[in-house]
Structures are given as structure tokens and as C-alpha cells.
Amino acid sequence: MRVGIGHDTHRLIEGRPLILGGVRIEHARGLLGHSDADVVLHALADALLGAAGLGDIGEHFPDTDPQWEGLDGGKLLADVLGLVYREGWIVGNCDVVIHAQEPKLTPHKPLMRTRIADLLRVDPTAVNVKAKTGERVGPIGRGEAISCEVVVLLLKKD
């Protein structure tokens, strides 16, 4: 077994779609980034790379490289999963914590869970999604950013 942790933060601005865990969420603002800025899938990809000892997404998908502009988080995650499989690992489970003052994420958690499970090719019971507000303090609490932490467990294929 191997464990990995991932984190990501993106600024919340007007005129961008909000995509979290591969789910498009109706909101007046979205996350700024070179790619689709899906903090959940980015943190998940980093957790997978960490558990497999493969570095981070910045090394594999540099944001200075135009080929990754607007990159879909699901595509990034699929690519990372391919690297992890090649090393002989499969996903055991993952635990996701999203920090967002708004919008309210509770209604979206079931779909995010299903979408993440599909992307990871695991049962939805192996995916847990939590949502926390920023208690109206700091950049999260002021609604300036959304961040995400993920812990993932990998199991050796056999």
C-alpha cells in the first residue's frame, strides 16, 4: 500500500465556468487558471503522483507549455492514472476535502463522487467528498479562492 496527498488552490473570478470534481456548477464566478482550473481533479492527480513516487503535475504538465492550455481535468487525471497503472498500482480509496465559502456544495457532492469514481474506475463507496466553508476568514472565507486537499491510497495490482 502507498499513500499520497495532494493540494490545489485557484482564484475565484468573474467570467469563468466553475468546474469541481469534473462537475460544472452554476455560479456567478469560476476558477482562474491555465487549464480548466478544477482544483479537485488537480489535487487528486497530485495525490496519485505522490503515492506512486512520480513527482507532481507541474512536472508532467507544465503551465508554461501551450499544449496544456484549457486542459480538461478529466483528461489530466486519466493521463496521471495511466502513469500510476504503469507502475503497477490501482486506487484503493480517496478522501477529498473542498474548501469553498460559496457556492454551497452539498447538493453537488453525490455527482462529484460518482464522476470521480468513474474517472478513477473505482466503486463510488471508495470516494468520499467533504465540503468546508472558510468561516468567512482568510482568502477562502472571503470568497477569493477555492482550494482542495486529497488523500489517496494505492494498492499493488495482483
- Interacting residues toward Mg ion by CB under 5 A: 8, 42
Distances (CA, A) of 122 to 30, 89, 146, 154: 28, 13, 26, 12
- Beta carbons of 151 and 95 less than 8 angstroms apart: yes
Cβ proximity to Mg ion, 24 vs 92, nearer residue: 24
Cβ proximity to Mg ion, 44 vs 129, nearer residue: 44
Min separation Cβ 10 and Mg ion, Å: 6
Distances (CA, A) of 108 to 37, 68, 129, 157: 17, 27, 10, 32
Cβ proximity to Mg ion, 8 vs 149, nearer residue: 8
Nearest residue to Mg ion by CB is 42
Classify residue 15 as exposed, middle or buried by CB count within 10 Å of its CB (0-12, 13-18, 19+): exposed
Kindly state the helix (H) or strand (E) to which residue 149 belongs, with its residue range.
strand 145-156
Min separation Cβ 41 and Mg ion, Å: 9
Min separation Cβ 11 and Mg ion, Å: 11
The DSSP output letter for 46 is H
- Beta carbons of 91 and 48 less than 8 angstroms apart: yes
Min separation Cβ 50 and Mg ion, Å: 15
Cβ proximity to Mg ion, 34 vs 132, nearer residue: 34
